[in-house]
Chains A and B, each alone.
Chain A
Amino acid sequence: MAERGREHWGSRIGIILAVAGSAIGLGNFLRFPAVACRNGGGAFMIPYFISFLLLGIPLCWMEWSMGRYGGRYSHGSLPGILDAVVRKPWAKYLGVLGLFVPAVIFLYYTYIESWCLAFSVFSLAGTYRNVAEPLAMKTFLQGFQGLTDGSSLGPAYGFFLITFAVNMMVVYRGLTRGIEFLCKIAIPVLLVGGVLLVIRIWTMDSPVPDMPDRTLNQALGFMWNPDFGALRNPTVWIEAAGQIFFTLSVGLGAIMTYASYLREQDDVVLSSTTACGMNEMVEVVIGGSLVIPAAYLFFGLEQTRAMAQSSFDLGFVTMPCIFNGIPWGDVFGFYWFFLLFLAGITSSISLMQPLVSFLEDEFGWTRHRAVTVIGIFAFVCSHACIFGLSMGVLDEFDFWGATLAIVICAMIEVLVFIRYMGVARGWEELHRGGDIRLPGWLKGVFYVTPVYLGAILLYWAIFSWVPWIAKPMGWDISVSWVDGIRVQAGSVNGVILLVRTFLLAFLVGLLWMIRVAWKRKLPARQGTGGAA
């Protein structure tokens, strides 16, 4: 077993908070309540919890187990981990998505994260204090993003520079002094800030004097009253599975990389379950209690229903309008956006780590060198998202990286776990050094997870990708319901083609790097019997 002085987590709470931080993102506060509202309210929690148990937790267990296993062979990124598990020459190439997905998401995620930081500063400075109507707030947001005529991108770019620099600094400082240190502060602050906001919103009964019927009870009812009839719709089940999948940050390769820094006898089973639980706590208990109830209290049933169609507008348009209408709104607005910023930064730093680990482990680079090179690359490429926002560049990155490739990557991980690690060996790996032992019959869940995931993939293929292919051919198959997926038929222009070419080139470049890395290590591998 080749230990080459890899870093390790400083404490168990450190990795739990880091993984929880990776999972807790903007979606916990914005996407979950909107999706729940649109899909049966309280009844949505039934498929949601089933998906959590059959898909979310098993996927996390698999990623943690395989990650720690790879770490024992000094591999912290998916190509190396798959190479260690499968021991076939082709396996490492399958892991390319574990580098591609987090890198592509990182390119635009830091920019969105910087909007949160900007709006938290704007809240304190009172920049949007006089904007009371959602339509005007939307115009303010678009002006900030440089999407309206005559608006300047200067402030947005300034905040992006700050956000990007903070991200780089955290990852540059290393695992314990950077990532672990930040998460140990950010997650508790996020939890306390979230609870304070819930208390504030739950105590503002009937804020609109001429609408006394808008009570907290009705607002919560809008979110939680179950429509059990919705459960007959397969879309609701797929939406629930998709929400669980995206909220837990599985399929990214980030959790595996984090787990690779565990020691051989460190617990996995209890720590991973705790991290999953913490993410769910933030999503359901805090996230589900904020935006929708607040929007209902202020704007009533019809407007809230319309607002729930766009998760993003709920956070950046609806919430600032609400904070403008309550006492101490500036401070609570700051809390809200800073909370989103913390959720964002704890996720974005985890997105960078797989590439850093790849360069460190497979090329023997130092962390500082790896972070510097990746930082320069990411900084340059991020400009495409900043300046190409109006041309749909960010949406392209989001579609290929965060929606399509992520599910395929997760499917590869699951199949490798089942086929090459094996359920029995995987179960033992999961419990190695474990502080708890799960009942043996739970092993069966590992067989259910790939079927569940395969069903999602098939459903998406039929209802999302088929129209995408079919529309330009004149076939009328127009079902597009998956939140965040942009059906791009008819909107392919020069810029979009350029972005797709770049993404393809990036993917090929990563494959080439994997090949080079293994070729360079070939003599050493032949000595140890590893897959070449």
Chain B
Amino acid sequence: MNLLGWAMLLVSWTAILLLVAVCVRKILIVDRDNIHAPLDIDTDPHSDPK
């Protein structure tokens, strides 16, 4: 394979793997942020957070 062939392969693979990696990373971060501890959910409405 010549240099241009390697370049096409590497650019194609990098673009696709980067797209998948960025998306999966974002999904994992968002899903992690959406996990709440019981205390976050069941906070006593009468208690003053300050």
Contact = CB atoms under 8 A, between A and B. Distances in A.
Interface in A267-314: 267, 270-271, 273-274, 277-278, 280-281, 284-285
A13 B7 CA distance: 33
Contact of A274 (B15, B16, B24): B24
Contacts of A436: 26
A74 to B, nearest CB: 27
Interface of B: 1-2, 4-9, 11-13, 15-17, 19-20, 23-24, 26-27, 30-31
A256 interface: no
Interface of A: 12-13, 16, 41-43, 45, 49, 217-218, 220-221, 224-226, 267, 270-271, 273-274, 277-278, 280-281, 284-285, 435-436
A221 B20 contact: no
Contacts of B16: 277, 280-281, 284-285
29 contacts: A13-B27, A41-B8, A42-B4, A42-B9, A43-B8, A45-B8, A45-B11, A45-B12, A49-B15, A220-B1, A220-B9, A221-B2, A221-B5, A224-B1, A224-B5, A224-B6, A225-B2, A225-B5, A226-B4, A267-B30, A270-B23, A273-B23, A274-B23, A277-B16, A278-B20, A280-B16, A284-B13, A284-B16, A436-B26
Contacts of A280: 16, 19-20
Contacts of B6: 224
A101 B39 CA distance: 51
B44 to A, nearest CB: 27
Given A224-B5, A225-B4, A284-B13, 13 more contacts: A12-B31, A16-B27, A42-B8, A217-B1, A221-B5, A225-B2, A270-B23, A270-B26, A270-B27, A280-B20, A284-B12, A284-B16, A285-B13
Contacts of B20: 274, 277-278, 280-281
A393 B13 CA distance: 38
A226 to B, nearest CB: 5
Contacts of A277: 16, 19-20, 23
Contact of B5 (A42, A270, A285): A42
A231 to B, nearest CB: 12
A435 B9 contact: no
A278 B9 CA distance: 17
A281 B1 contact: no
B26 A221 contact: no
Contacts of B24: 274
A107 B6 CA distance: 41
Contacts of B15: 49
Shortest 9 CB-CB distances between A and B: which pairs?
A: A42-B8, A221-B1, A274-B23, A225-B5, A224-B5, A277-B20, A277-B19, A435-B30, A220-B1
A244 to B, nearest CB: 13
A281 B17 CA distance: 7
Contacts of A281: 16-17, 20
A85 to B, nearest CB: 27
A190 B13 CA distance: 18
A225 B4 CA distance: 6
Contact of A224 (B8, B30, B31): B8
A225 B26 contact: no
A273 B20 CA distance: 8
A256 B16 CA distance: 24
Contacts of B27: 12-13, 16, 270-271, 274, 435
